[in-house]
Amino acid sequence: MFSSLAHQPINLPDYLAPLEELEPFSRVQLIAFDLDGTLLKAPDEAPGERIKRLQGSAKSLGVRITLATGRTLTGAQNTLSALGDLGSTPIILYNGSLVVQPGLKKIIAHRKIEALAANKVIEIARDNDVDLFIYTVSDENAEGCSEIGTWETVSFVGAVPPAREFNGMKVFNLETEYVQLAVTAMLILLKPQSDQVRLNKVLKNLDGISITSSGSRFIELRPKGSSKAAGMTDVIRSLKLSQKDVLAVGDNDNDVELLEWAGIGVSVQGASPMAKSASDYVSRFGAENAAIDVLEIVRRAKRLHRTKR
């Protein structure tokens, strides 16, 4: 877990810097990108051509790419399609609650909010007049499903359900007063009149959940002990890599644990104060361009290191 706000990151070196400055990046074997605000400038965008070319170059140098996002698998599909086959590399979804191999649609790890805790959140949402999205993922691997939408679903508690939520998933009203089974994640959408400070305080006192945020309008709820760092531990175990082999790039509070955990943590320009303080480096660039910068640095560091050897 994130332990201190006293740490001050240093500026990410220029990719044309001398080898001694780039040397730590020559050891990277896995780069984990957050999506919104990091790899992507806007939620409905996909990675540009330069990122795709650099990804291919990184792959040729033995560097894997993965995603660590609060999104659903449905919400990550555009990015996955643009990047092409990630091979056997698992990705992290729902802020660490779910780790899957997207090509095989195989579950690596699945953490859940138990029904008792989820139902307390539902009561709090109703009492505070906020909209609540409840995400459920089948324990069966998705490869047997004709559509991803039949594998992961989202239910709604609130006044008027939107036709689709921000991942593009169809939204259903919760059919019962409470959930009967454990859920993968929950998301509170705040209204202008919502008292976020008080809500956070109430939610933090609940057993079985942890809270984070990727924007001022959202409170994201995960199972206790779940985080992108916990999900990345599952990823490196699957790939037989070490924590020090990982470079993580993020921009917001839901990236804090991962940025602190990774061998190298990089925050983008304009990242939240907590994300910056959890990082080793801060980029001169914002979303997308920071990802390009990191890929360029790792590529050049790998090539220089090979030449030196």
Instruction: For residue 109, count other CB atoms closer than 10 A to its CB.
Output: 19
Give the model confidence (pLDDT) of 277-295 as tens digits: 999 999 999 999 999 999 9
CA-atom Rg of the chain in angstroms: 19
| Averaged confidence pLDDT in the chain | 91
Task: Give residue 9's Cα distance to chain centre.
Answer: 21
Which residue has tokens 């990082």? 279
234 neighbors 109 (Cβ within 8 angstroms) = yes
Strand 218-223's sheet: what is its strand order? 171-173, 152-157, 131-137, 185-189, 218-223, 209-212
Highest mean pLDDT range out of 49-58, 143-152, 230-239? 230-239
Instruction: For residue 244, count other CB atoms closer than 10 A to its CB.
Output: 13
pLDDT at 194 over 90: no
Which residue has tokens 């698992």? 90
Which pLDDT value is given to residue 145? 59
CA distance 7 to 279: 8
pLDDT at 123 over 90: yes
CA distance 145 to 132: 26
DSSP string, 46-98: ---HHHHHHHHHHHHTT-EEEEB-SS-HHHHHHHHHHH---TT--EEEGGGTE
pLDDT at 159 over 60: yes
Give the model confidence (pLDDT) of 11-65 as tens digits: 999 888 888 899 999 999 999 999 999 999 988 888 989 999 999 999 999 999 9
Q: At what angle do helices 49-60 and 73-83 cross, to 10 degrees?
A: 70
Helix, strand, coil tally for the chain in percent (to 5): 35, 25, 40
CA torsion through residues 16, 18, 19, 24, sign: negative
State the pTM of this model. 0.93
Could you give the domains of the chain?
10-111+227-308 (3.40.50.1000), 115-223 (3.30.1240.10)
Instruction: For residue 60, count other CB atoms closer than 10 A to its CB.
Output: 10
> What's the Cα-to-Cα distance from 173 to each of 70, 76, 177, rounded to whole Å?
22, 23, 10
5 pLDDT band, cuts 50/70/90, is: very low
76 phi and psi angles, rounded to 5 deg: -95, -5
Report the DSSP beta bridge partners of residue 144: none
- Higher pLDDT among residues 106 and 123, named by residue: 123
